[in-house]
Amino acid sequence: MKNLFKIICLLAVAAGCTARSGWTAWEQTVIERSDSVMYVTVMPADSAILRATSRDLGPKELKSAELQTLLAKMYRTLTDPSQDGVGIAAPQVGINRRMVLVMRYDKPGRPIEPYLNIKIDSLWGQKNPGPEGCLSVPPYRGIVQRYPNIQISYLKPDGTPVTEQVDGYSAIIFQHECDHLDGILYIDRADTVYINKAWAAEREEFAYERPDWWK
């Protein structure tokens, strides 16, 4: 009976830990155990994650140290020569949360910035076709029609809410990355998809295996 009481107490403490941070056990594992350059989920092996709808970060996650670690690792992953992308969404590192990093072509120095709980409020203008690729769909590229103008709402890492208009290539990146949060990939929208031979050759140079702790 005493042991049963102990077990119940331990379970209560464990549940409390989860509730305090707000992250799931899987999310904590990914954030803590990933190298600074994270494993990037790919189709079709990781379709369960890439095709899921992601959920918002709650107040606890927004204030957590884990969020800062995750943002730093996502930044390092996006800018690593093995990936070299212009944007990344959290499902691409195994986390089904509404957060993306985008390279801002419309700002001086093209900074890569994080956007939390992001949503596209509206899209307008004449849709234009353009080439796209995705770190999670190697080694393909495709031609996708996107809007040139959007309005987005999001939180900055310090929790400040922002609404802004974005135009041009940055707007296209936002549309691609926000699609990831709803389980949509550019290949779903593309008019044409083709193999990028240079990318295929490049991928053979790097290791892309899942970490052994990955589920």
Interacting residue ranges for Ni ion, rule: CB under 5 A? 134
Longest dimension (CA), the chain: 71
Set 113, 132, 177, 202: catalytic member: 177
Nearer to Ni ion, 121 or 188 (CB): 188
Nearer to Ni ion, 7 or 48 (CB): 48
Q: Report, in Å, the least distance between residue 99 CB and Ni ion.
A: 14
Alpha carbon separation from 206 to 2, 39, 72, 110 (Å, rounded): 54, 12, 21, 26
Q: Report, in Å, the least distance between residue 137 CB and Ni ion.
A: 7
Count the Cβ atoms, other than its own, within 10 Å of residue 72: 12
Nearer to Ni ion, 116 or 134 (CB): 134
Q: Let me know if 177 is a catalytic residue.
A: yes
Q: Is 122 exposed, middle or buried (0-12, 13-18, 19+ CB in 10 A)?
A: exposed
Alpha carbon separation from 100 to 93, 103, 194, 204 (Å, rounded): 11, 10, 26, 27
Q: Report, in Å, the least distance between residue 65 CB and Ni ion.
A: 27
Catalytic residues: 177
